[in-house]
Amino acid sequence: MKIGVVGASGYAGGELLRLLALHPEFEAAVITAGSNAGEEITSIHPQLSNYAGRKFENSDSARLKGLDLVFTALPHGESAKLINQLDSNQKVVDLGADFRLKSKEQWQKYYGGEHAGTWTYGLPELANQRELIKASNRVANPGCYATVIALATAPMLPFVDASDIVVVAASGTTGAGRSAKVNLIGSEVMGSMSSYKFGGVHQHTPEIEQATGAKISFTPILAPMPRGILATVTGKLNKNADVKSAYIDAYKAEEFVWVMPDGQLPKSSAVIGSNYVQMQVAIDEHANRVLVSAVIDNLGKGAAGQAIQNANLISGLHEFAGLTGTGLGA
């Protein structure tokens, strides 16, 4: 299948290219990057020796005509402009936020500008979502925080007060994109951690609430590492239940979600470079709360890996194609 990658010079775009080079069915036929058009791909992504000699093309919709599927990895608000110029039957997986939210009001509050519409939400492990994705030709890839938090939250909801979900999650710096920012330079990040978008204002908040139906208080933290997310999700118990067994049952058929045995805890390094999720579940008896610790690679299951998982589904391929590589570890 001939594939286009739009916005391939960013971190998520680079990870898409790496995974596409390993995919048995997808061929990256068109690779675009507006501001880097004409530059060699390896000048931005030196790890991608598979693409040596190839250059980024202009992000022109005409170049995407006739492709079997297009990935768009553009800044928020940019995808819709390009996608509106494509054939309505062309398969697209959008890694931006443009088509995730159903509410125009929430879009305007957290992102601003005109709401582009709503596509099928691409988190296959959520209840009933996989079949909706298979029946779609346009899929909104979830945000990185939203992915890990929604998966960590959903199985606890029958047993907790869904209006009192508290989340603290730490992410590596690639989650902020490739643009130069003072707070992301090495001397600012190394040896330090800091909260950001403090006070319930992170743009993934309405997305998580839409995906789960819960009310969340979410505090993100910038961690001194390039990639990975560690999320801790807690909810107030309102009934007695074997919560750990509920998580095991919820994900026992899922290739990419592993509920770990007692005594083991998730580590972000264990999933780097993979499409996998690791999580552990416990009960804080002192506070009478469910605790879930979960990790993903923000560029893997939080972006490019999940995008390929969705592309596999809408293309009628095996869902796991090109994605079963394990994490790198320490």
> Is 315:68 a contact under the CB 8 Å cutoff?
yes
> Is 310:19 a contact under the CB 8 Å cutoff?
no
Give the count of alpha carbons within 13 A of 186, CB side only.
0
Active site residues: 144
CA–CA distance, 77 with 96 (Å, rounded to integer): 8
Q: Taking CA 88 as the corner, what is the angle to CA 1 and CA 298, rounded to the nearest 5 degrees?
A: 60
